[in-house]
Chain A
Amino acid sequence: MGSLDYLLAALTPWNLLLALGGVIAGTVIGALPGLTATMAVAVLVPFTFAMEPAAALIALGAIYTGAIYGGAYAAILLNTPGTPSSIATTFDGYPMARKGDGDLALTLACLGSVFGGLVGAAFLLVLAPPMATVALKFGPVEYFWLGLFGLTLIASLGEGSTIKGLIGGGLGLLLSMVGVAEVGGDIRYVGDFKPLLGGIDVVSALIGLYCIPVLIDLVATPVAHLESGSRVASFRLAEALRIIRRSKFNLARSSIIGTVVGILPGAGGSIASLVSYSEAKRASPRREQFGKGEPDGVLSTESANNATVGGGFIPTLVLGIPGTPPDAIILGALLVQGIRTGPTLFTEQAPIVYTFIWGLILATLIMLPVGLLIGRFAFRSILAIPKAVLVPSVALLTVLGSYAVHNNVHEVQQMVVLGVLAWGVSRMGFSASPIVLGLILGTIAERGFVQGHLIGGARGSVLAEFFARPISLAIIFFIVLGLLWPWWAARRVRIAKEKNA
């Protein structure tokens, strides 16, 4: 069978219906704060057990891609990431919505998600086997350096003082250590409060850190929660396409970053969107506008997080190693279907795999009209709701979202306590984003460091383990670049100003 035959196999009315239904269901679930893409896939996976393998994969891929995109709604309209993948979308999406450009931000998010999703799927189609081999070479030490690389992004995320950003990152790192240490089993910073033994749940923390401060500040003044732009009734598609034409390199770079990060097992959409946001900011001539409502910020994060869908399927299908948490659930569904993933999958069960990949591409294309329509409806609805009703409703979503992750009331308590603390430290000029970055990357960096240290010790040289591996050296180069870049950029601006003076 040729590629066209697989495309035709994916184009059956049943498969198209599954793709449409999956995208809609995923988008709606992803839009609810606290309900992650993982949960969307997990909740809906039993419906696929009775389907043909290719149809089941198409449905799951559509749910996954829709949920990742759906996270952008709450991020843009409520400053609360619907899914962890849309953390970085809040940085510019919410400021855009506050300025009356929420409809434009939603359209950009949709277009960016579709583009990123297509790039990820194209990589899956063409480059799956060779790229998965590279990902397999990532050991604990590489993950340690990758975690440190992510932490250097704090320098570019700091709104104002870099030192305050680094202090916030340190606080997040400390929070990531709460509970039983993964290696060694030390019980750290728990005291007598036993519910903290399991650590601080990232999703609950995200909801608290991002949403509670917004709720607290929303009630303080009678000013409307969002400005309604003069062209609120339209998609602002032409304007969005003009921005995309201007930012085509940003879009392509972010999609490739998302795909590559998606390939790394365990990394996922949140890291992809943060890395691509940082790179977009570094490369942009309008970097001063990032964090204040820059459309390029929304484009970069949304294209990157949707590109992780296709990227994450590469190690999942080729190696049987899930690239992202939803991939782990899809892997389980494949086993239920009797499909064994591995390098031979693309030859022995090629019809299923390639029909699925084309189905994923079709689902991503379907997301364009579906996403634009749902986005328009969501924006108009949020605008129409009085603030007095919106505040308790969003508060309810935060409670439900943090509870539903593990059905645990202690995680609701973590969420509100961290949220109130985040509001407190925000009054002192410490923003939530570096804390979140520290919380997410702390575990990855520490696990990699401890395991690398143990392996290095067993091999006779810890230093060689950390500093003599080619991939590690490449990441170290980018870490140094990331640390020096803000200083170099500031120096360049100062020199330019002196020349103009």
Chain B
Amino acid sequence: MREAPTRADLPGAIGSGIMVVIGAGAIWAARDYSDLGAVFPRTVGALLIALGIVYIVLVGLGRTRRAAAVDGSSVRRALVAIVMLAWGFTLGPLGFLPAGAAAMAALLLIANHDRWTLRTALAYGLSCAAVLGLLYALFKHALQVPLP
């Protein structure tokens, strides 16, 4: 009996294609570097191109396996990514406490799958505020980290 064909790893092929482009970009950028400074970038760039092409060929030949699909909400995933990026880039301008409070509140809203009640809102909100306050005090005053 023949084995059932596995699904082609299309995401892997797309990722490999991106790596081929990154490898080509690395080699192109290395043209301005000194001879010794360009050895590693060129070698690694060539490696990325070669391996990326090999993987795409393997996908074309049907000799790869696609990873199991992940379940759950893609919208929530995207929102967490956006909040974390926003947190990172507003930390300096807004300051540690305002940026932290806003980002933690947003993450709390995104991560909660249960129905909101006054009690859970208070309990979760106060818990996050306590964590923020405690870690702020620990880093700022006990460890003398100059937080923005």
Interface residues of chain A, those whose CB is within 8 Å of chain B, are 43, 160-161, 163-164, 166-167, 170-171, 173-174, 177, 181, 183-186, 188-189, 212, 215-222, 386-393, 395-397, 399-400, 403-404, 407, 409, 412-413, 415-417, 419-420, 423, 425, 427-430, 442, 445-446, 449-450, 453-454
Contact = CB atoms under 8 A, between A and B. Distances in A.
B34 A184 contact: yes
Contacts of B11: 427-429
B118 interface: no
A214 to B, nearest CB: 11
B87 A399 contact: yes
Contact of B80 (A161, A185, A219, A427): A219
A221 B72 contact: yes
Interface in B36-69: 36-41, 44-45, 47-48, 51-52, 54-55, 58, 64-67
B107 A409 contact: no
A219 B111 contact: yes
B32 to A, nearest CB: 8
A490 to B, nearest CB: 14
Given A392-B131, A393-B104, 15 more contacts: A161-B65, A171-B19, A174-B44, A217-B77, A222-B114, A391-B80, A392-B107, A392-B128, A396-B100, A396-B135, A399-B103, A404-B139, A404-B145, A407-B146, A449-B40
Nearest to A397: B135
Contacts of B76: 219-220
Contacts of A222: 113-114
A167 B52 contact: yes
B71 A164 contact: no
Contacts of B108: 388-389, 391-392
A395 B34 contact: no
Contacts of B15: 164, 167, 425, 428-430
Contacts of B38: 186
B88 A399 contact: yes
**Closest 3 pairs between A and B when the two form their complex, measured CB to CB:** A220-B72, A428-B15, A186-B37
A216 B81 contact: yes
A166 B58 CA distance: 15
A404 B71 CA distance: 35
A56 B145 CA distance: 24
A199 to B, nearest CB: 14
6 contacts: A186-B37, A392-B105, A393-B128, A416-B84, A419-B84, A442-B40
A212 B84 contact: yes
Interface residues of B, number: 73
B36 A184 contact: yes
B122 interface: no
Given A391-B107, A399-B100, A449 B84 contact: no
Contacts of A43: 143
A429 B135 contact: no
A388 to B, nearest CB: 4
B112 A388 contact: yes
Given A428-B12, A453-B36, A217 B131 contact: no
Q: Which of A388, A415, A449 has the most CB of B within 10 A?
A: A388
B36 A183 contact: yes
A220 B37 contact: no
A224 B91 CA distance: 30
A128 B94 CA distance: 52
Interface string B67-110: 10011111011011100110111011000000010011101101
B111 A392 contact: yes
Contact of B131 (A393, A399, A446, A454): A393
B70 A217 contact: yes
Given A181-B37, A395-B87, A427-B70, A161 B55 contact: yes
Nearest to B11: A428
Contacts of B103: 392, 395, 399
A222 B132 CA distance: 24
Contact of A215 (B34, B67, B84, B114): B84
Contact of A423 (B54, B67, B81): B81
Contact of B14 (A388, A419, A428, A450): A428
A220 B77 contact: yes
A409 B148 contact: yes
Given A181-B37, A216-B81, A403-B147, A413 B44 contact: no
Contact of A163 (B26, B51, B74): B51
Interface string B14-30: 11100100110010011
Contacts of A391: 80, 107-108, 110-111
Nearest to B145: A404
Given A221-B72, A428-B14, A387 B111 contact: yes
A212 B55 CA distance: 27
Contacts of A183: 36-37
B85 A188 contact: no
Contact of B47 (A170, A420, A445): A170
Contact of B55 (A163, A215, A445): A163
A147 to B, nearest CB: 11
Nearest to B52: A167
Contacts of B124: 386, 388-389
Contacts of B104: 392-393, 395-396
Given A166-B51, A409-B148, A186 B107 contact: no
Given A189-B29, A396-B131, A170 B55 contact: no
Best-buried of B16, B33, B107 by chain A (most CB within 10 Å): B107
